[in-house]
A and B are shown apart, each in its own frame.
Chain A
């Protein structure tokens, strides 16, 4: 097991370096002059040079890369040329909002996707199965940007049930900062009105973000459940008089969950990436919005920071999934 973990960790480190290299190269080959953009449209050439020098953009690219990697080792992701703050500080400010959104979406996706997948499998080729499959395909196909605006128009403008954007109403006092996740912090502070307001603001963006994930989980879970339900040991269990509910909900589901777990791992990274669109539509002040604002301004250190953060998250979650696989299936450990 220790060797298995070590190999995975080494591979993760290698992938991380590759990610740093790619993000650095892509950011720097883009035809853009961040110093000129930060200096503003009226700036003279020497003003642009002042900024270029201040941010080390006057140095050769290999030197900038070495400096950047050296900074990474000490937790320094550089400084945003637009906000003038350290990228690490900015990420610390914005990441909790994104994490809150992704956790909510993922929870919703799992809690709804898994039971629907089971239901669909149990009622295979019957009306509920067709209906859930139709819904699943539709949810995957819906562009988040368009769907988000549509939900805003329906639930915020027409029905006036939910707020249009943001994390809290202006008049709502934010809870003291503990985790940065308003739902958690408001519970810790006992600010229930704030909790309710934060939840109302989170509903629409969380739904939009969760739908593709929900659909994937539903489809994978359905397929696996159908396969498992046809297995001999399930038939044997039924023949031994174990109730249908217990067979489906315990025996079959447990075995069908392995591929679902993999999908959850993959979708985690995908969701973090998708926050770029969802956070823009709903003005959710997370890392997605931070990345978009920075990219528009040609401010690449934050874009690289966000990319790395998402990459690291993705790798960590997949590492955990790999390790869980190893725990759940001893054959994998043996072959590794």
Chain B
């Protein structure tokens, strides 16, 4: 490519112009403009390596996927509710094995193609056949052949067994345009290579710029089939996600007005900025459980009395203090926004007398041993919780060796009972409101996964979890989950910690933020938001 030829005078003038622009400094305003409309600029620390909605999900990826794609239903509000979206209604047979969805008639993809039953069928089939990302949610109960487009606006799923929680997973399966995907298939990859960087959705935004490591820019779809809740006049023109890895840099950008909103804000920074001029906080009770899992198969923590002693020695107030008060202690292994949650009486709180009683009943009545506590390298809160644990266990004469390891190393160690650390800090965010996703943490099936680093094996829990999965009577199901929660507390495979608040800091002209605990950590719903500034 050949650049323009620049004369000597032109070069001098251009140089002066460039110097002027350099000296002008950065723009003071946060939002960008597009005519009369605004572009909302957001900064978070996590890249979005892949756009394909059937291959990967995490908070940043889903933030973009949820904006670009639609699903049959959507999670909104706090407590979370499932509302119709591409499907205007649905029903199931009494056995809850056949689910029928009736689609809205006006939905269309970004290229103008209608969103019909075939697109829904193809999308679910694609997700199942790729066997990645979201596939785990339905693959055991739904065969690709069992999805039928009954007519252009009706799609039917026939499950291999009753699955009362089927609908709770449906909002996480986004619908892609089969025509666009099939036109870009290479080596029978179901268009995976193409959908990694391109989109084929029907959502309120479409992708304009995709630089996975640094910036993702979306344009609002002016004639979005569902309309805009804030009104067409106020809707955004677009959205920019800037990937800024350092919390200090994100904070600086918000202060400087380079971005409108940030997430993953350290507790101290949040306290510092939440009352700053022009900035407002969003601070909500979280849905992510924090626990210190204990290896139940080897070492001192294999002894239930040692685990009980540790759980009763833990300084739970410290967990709250570390989060500057923005956390709630767990009163059950389940977060309270999960259906079927019960507050378990007798869940351990700091009681040194009781702790000593349990230790006295163990094989180590006088302590005198050391336990390894592993947390993810670079995360400050789990490190400080480790220090609290160290202090808490000193009266029992138990030493704690705090070890920071990279996430891959920690997960690899925890996948086997023989190598799993004595104690590990674990955060778990349920992806949907199905209690099975959290009860399953304590099932034998969880061994090998990061939340199963306790390697607990209990036939009663396994039986109850399996029974609850297929129980269609809600009362009976909840009773089974209540049993699971009590039994888990009895067996104490973890120190049940807290739910840390989810927090965002934003400029005070941002409107329409709607919290839904079902979204993953820093994720939020972009669709209802707008900028209320001249």
Contacts and interface: CB of A to CB of B under 8 A. Distances in A.
Interface stretch (B105-113, B277-285, B409-417, B466-474): B409-417
Contacts of B240: 170
A44 B136 contact: yes
Given A31-B412, A37-B408, A94-B213, A84 B14 contact: no
Given A37-B408, A50-B131, A293-B47, A160 B214 contact: no
A190 B4 contact: yes
B21 A192 contact: yes
Contacts of B4: 189-190
Given A36-B411, A83-B212, A153-B252, A160 B25 contact: yes
Interface residues of B, number: 69
Given A165-B253, A195-B18, A281-B249, A41 B132 contact: no
Given A85-B196, A157-B256, A152 B21 contact: no
A207 B26 CA distance: 19
A121 interface: no
Interface in B367-414: 406-409, 411-413
Contacts of A187: 3
A153 B246 CA distance: 12
Interface string B405-444: 0111101110100000000000000010000010000000
B413 A31 contact: yes
Contacts of A318: none
Contact of B14 (A51, A82, A190): A190
Nearest to A292: B245
Most chain-B CB neighbours within 10 Å: which of A41, A51, A169, A199? A41
A30 B450 CA distance: 18
Contacts of B256: 156-157, 160, 164
B32 A171 contact: yes
Contact of A170 (B18, B41, B131, B412): B41
Contact of A152 (B57, B132, B248, B409): B248
Most chain-A CB neighbours within 10 Å: which of B193, B211, B214? B214
A298 B377 CA distance: 14
A178 to B, nearest CB: 5
Contact of A157 (B17, B252, B408): B252
Interface string A257-294: 00000000000000000000000111101000110010
A187 B57 CA distance: 40
B243 interface: yes
Nearest to A187: B3
Contact of B57 (A32, A40, A164): A40
A153 B245 CA distance: 15
Contacts, number: 173
A37 B25 CA distance: 42
A84 B32 contact: no
A170 B21 contact: no
Contacts of B136: 42-44, 47
A193 B21 CA distance: 6
Nearest to A162: B26
Nearest to A159: B25
B516 interface: no
Contacts of B56: 40
Contact of A161 (B25, B137, B437): B25
Contacts of A189: 3-4
Nearest to A195: B18
A51 to B, nearest CB: 7
B249 A164 contact: yes
Contacts of B449: 41-42
A130 B486 CA distance: 72
Contacts of A85: 196
A83 B196 contact: yes
B3 A169 contact: no
A167 B214 contact: yes
A283 B57 CA distance: 22
B131 to A, nearest CB: 5
B3 A36 contact: no
Contact of B253 (A31, A46, A164, A197): A164
B213 A290 contact: yes
Most chain-A CB neighbours within 10 Å: which of B1, B131, B137, B192? B131
A297 B408 contact: yes
A296 B378 CA distance: 11
Interface in B25-62: 25-28, 32, 39, 41, 47, 49-50, 55-58
Contacts of A332: none
B210 to A, nearest CB: 11
A166 interface: yes
A281 B246 contact: yes
B272 interface: no
Interface in A194-234: 195-197, 199-200
Interface in B274-304: none
A290 B47 CA distance: 10
B196 A30 contact: no
Contacts of A290: 213
A248 B39 CA distance: 57
A79 B42 CA distance: 30
B408 A285 contact: no
Nearest to B20: A196
Interface in B120-171: 131-133, 135-137, 139
Contacts of A39: 132
Contact of A84 (B28, B192, B214, B252): B192
Nearest to A284: B214
B21 A197 contact: yes
A44 B140 CA distance: 10
A33 B249 contact: no
A170 B215 contact: yes
A39 B139 CA distance: 15
A84 B408 contact: no
A70 interface: no
A153 B248 contact: yes
A291 B42 CA distance: 24
A94 B49 CA distance: 14
A31 B409 contact: yes
B451 interface: yes
Nearest to A161: B25
Contacts of A176: 1
A50 B55 CA distance: 12
A34 interface: yes
Minimum-distance CB pairs A-B, first 5: A188-B3, A298-B408, A32-B408, A196-B21, A196-B18
Given A149-B248, A163-B26, A169-B26, 20 more contacts: A32-B412, A33-B411, A33-B415, A37-B411, A39-B132, A44-B139, A84-B192, A149-B249, A156-B256, A157-B256, A160-B25, A160-B28, A162-B25, A163-B258, A165-B246, A187-B3, A190-B4, A199-B22, A283-B244, A293-B47
27 contacts: A30-B408, A32-B411, A33-B412, A40-B57, A41-B450, A42-B449, A43-B136, A44-B136, A44-B139, A47-B136, A50-B131, A84-B55, A156-B26, A156-B256, A160-B25, A164-B252, A170-B215, A170-B242, A176-B1, A178-B3, A188-B3, A190-B3, A192-B15, A283-B249, A285-B211, A293-B213, A296-B408
